[in-house]
Amino acid sequence: MLRDAARGFLDENAPVSALRANRDAGQAFDPGLWREMAQMGWAGVLIGEDHGGADMGHRAAGILAEEMGRTLAASPFLSSAVIAASALRAAGSDRLGQIAEGAALYALAVDEGPKHAPDLTAMEARPEGNGFRLKGRKVFVADGASADRVLVLACSGEGDEGLTLFDIDAGRAGLSRKGADSIDARDFATLEFEDVEATGEDVVGEVGGGLAALAPGLRAGQAALAAELSGLSAGISAVTLGYLKERKQFDRTIGSFQALQHRAAHLFAEIEVTASAVAHAGRVLDHEPENAQLAVSLAKARATQTAKLAVMEGVQMHGGIGMTDDYDAGFFMKRARVGAEWLGDYGHHAAIVAAARRL
């Protein structure tokens, strides 16, 4: 029922043409569309009813993300409703109600280099009085230019216990944001922290426990992003199948060519297996969140590879026009490329899976 409702809403209100319109208008997402999503309870899908949420769980969040991926619907769903909501819920934050209402938009500022590596955080959180001063740069911050608040990981000490997670007002003095030109026409930004004040109330979890505080949000975000990539794969596959049934060559629809049928069938099988891995990750997060990293990394790695295959096949089977802006296939390819890197690429998650299998 949730999938059917989400698909009907997104097909009508957020088709791929809406992404094109957002891009041409210079906006990362439609605020009105996000308000409607929040009114339907999507912003509070992982938030308890005591804070105004729907509390439907990670499998439900994955279903919503899949359907958004299918139409390339742009929204702050992953950053706010999934990553921030999961991290702040685990920490017992009182800002969950604002997220559930769609009133507070969050961004996660964790990466500092070309690859996802939270444990290599170098950004400084210098103790000062009863608080800290944050100094450093964060890159590839999804929804960074639009967010009202930022979850930022910084180094507050030495050794394994030296990282702390902060919940900072995006308008705080010393914090500057510069939007990046993202190929998928989404909101990514570089954030510069120049002696930004952070108090003890801004700490999420415990001082020195930043990775532990961030873990629930990261796992949830990785699983939901895998779900979005799975939906994206199904979306470009559907677009491609439609084209194969319409395009004619040598007085025959090209879908009648056996070579293309084999390629389409292979892609269908890969999408089905990936969808199973994504569903499994959501269920493990719902029932055994502390033991979910293997399932989550498996889903993200597989979804990344399947999306790569899907968009390559989609563009190739469209022929040369697949790379032109007049057709939607290229939009799927661009989003797949960004999704492959965000929150850990294939190599990052494959290494986690390999390490877990050696245990």
Cα separation values, 302 from 122, 306, 308, 325, Å: 30, 6, 10, 28
Bridging pattern class, strands 131-142 and 188-198 = antiparallel
Q: For position 318, what pLDDT does the model report?
A: 84
Q: For position 160, what pLDDT does the model report?
A: 52
Q: How many CB atoms lie within 10 A of CB 306?
A: 27
Contacts of 310 (CB under 8 A, 6+ apart): 232, 233, 234, 236, 237, 267, 270, 271, 332, 336
CATH class of 212-358: mainly alpha
Place of tokens 């999938």: 3
Q: For position 26, what pLDDT does the model report?
A: 87
Q: Topology of domain 2-103, per CATH?
A: Butyryl-Coa Dehydrogenase, subunit A; domain 1 (1.10.540)
What global pTM score does this model have? 0.95
Contacts of 14 (CB under 8 A, 6+ apart): 30, 33, 68, 71, 73, 74
Q: For position 158, what pLDDT does the model report?
A: 61
**pLDDT values of the chain reduced to their tens digit, one per residue, 359 residues:** 999 999 999 999 999 999 999 999 888 899 999 999 999 999 999 999 999 999 999 999 999 999 999 999 999 999 999 999 999 999 999 999 999 999 999 999 999 999 999 999 999 999 998 899 999 999 999 999 999 999 999 998 865 568 999 999 999 999 999 998 899 989 999 999 999 999 999 999 999 999 999 999 999 999 999 999 999 999 999 999 998 898 888 888 888 889 989 999 999 999 999 999 999 999 999 999 999 999 999 999 999 999 999 999 999 888 878 778 888 889 999 999 999 999 999 999 999 999 988 76
Is residue 73 within 8 Å of 42, Cβ to Cβ? Answer: no
d(CA 224, CA 264): 25
d(CA 61, CA 81): 9
- What does the domain layout of the chain look like in residue ranges? 2-103, 108-209, 212-358
Q: For position 181, what pLDDT does the model report?
A: 83
Contacts of 101 (CB under 8 A, 6+ apart): 38, 43, 44, 52
Q: How many CB atoms lie within 10 A of CB 251?
A: 5
Kindly write down the DSSP assignment for every residue of 56-98, as one continuous string.
--HHHHHHHHHHHHHHT---SIIIIIIIIHHHHHHHT-TTHHH
Q: For position 316, what pLDDT does the model report?
A: 86
**DSSP element (H, E) containing 138:** strand 131-142
Q: Which CATH number fits domain 108-209: 3.20.20.70, 2.160.20.10, 3.30.70.3280, 2.40.110.10?
A: 2.40.110.10
